[in-house]
Amino acid sequence: MNKKILQRYLTYVLIGVGLSLLPTLQGMGLIMTSTVTIWGLIIFYAIVAIGLNVLLGYSGLVSLGTAGFMGVAAYMTAYFTREFSWPFILSLIVSVLVPTAIGLIVGLVSLRVSGMYLAIATLAVAEIFRSVFTHVPEFTGSFQGSRADFPVIFGNLLDRDSTIVFLAILLVILLILTDNFIHSPIGRALLTMRASEPAAQAMGINLLKYKLMAFGLATAYAALGGVLYAHFVRFIFPTDWTLMLSLQIVAVIVIGGAKTILGPIIGSVIVFGVPPIILTRLPIIGDVDGLAFVFNGVLIILVILFYPNGLIYIGHDIKKLFRKKAVISHE
């Protein structure tokens, strides 16, 4: 196996190990219980963003329907496990496959429209879902919400800490699978399609096939994130699946770095982790309700203005700067 591939895989595994140790660190009193919970949210939002990055970053297709697909999957798994007592694995599979099928239908629409028109079309789908969440209380509980429990895997009921470990393992698996997908001929075809659809067609790339692949994968990851949300947070409300959440997932990609595997993880930490873990605990900023999220919005704007390629490259640029200074000092 190529040395670079092994290095990437090792990085993914180390990330998973670090995340798996969070409950241990909390048990030692090194971090707060709420911090571990927030990291759980960061993990499954990162999973959703990794999928959307394949669509947005690698394929150049815009979707604002992410929150809607997450909501469909979350309500489905909660309903199946609560009302029918389905096993978690079976519920997960069905709750991912159904939204993915809908995502493939939306992918067919992408052949007709593009750019902001595609974004509006996917937003319309998400709003239809949100209306269903509100007006079908038999399935969703409407504004009273729906409830799920921690996952039961192979007869073992997980608690919050073991669910964090499960999420970390799942993240590593998806990072490796996405890495293989992007570095395959399919990934190269998506990048060609993003650069120029006419050129891609001239090279024999089937636009329908690859757009459907991109939409299907992005929707599957969003649905998986919804399932994980339901069984980790354990309470689901229609107000969870708004346009704001879809925009936050897009921000995760932009901030972390589009067309990268690890960028969505960095972006998820900034968007979903920095306000509750750091900003709300600072003097003055944390004392005023909502001010932490205002500062986080300013931070996002600054990153977009001054670091448009994403924070994933900041380490490389720092090394480059030190090398440049070292060369100047030797001269």
330, pLDDT greater than 70:
no
pLDDT at 132: 92
DSSP state of 150: -
Residue 269's Cα: distance from chain center in Å?
11
Domain boundaries, given as residue ranges, for the chain: 3-239
259, pLDDT greater than 70:
yes
297, pLDDT greater than 90:
no
> Structure tokens of 84?
């029918």
Q: Which residue has the higher pLDDT, 52 or 281?
A: 52
pLDDT band at 1 (very low <50, low <70, confident <90, very high): low
pLDDT mean over 210-222: 93
pLDDT at 199: 87
Mean pLDDT of the chain: 89
pLDDT digit string (tens) for 72-122?
Answer: 999 999 999 999 999 999 999 999 999 999 989 887 876 677 778 888 889
Closest CA to 77 of 66, 69, 86: 86
Q: Which residue has the higher pLDDT, 303 or 217?
A: 217
Q: How far apart are CA 171 and CA 241, in angstroms?
A: 22
What single letter denotes the amino acid at residue 215?
F
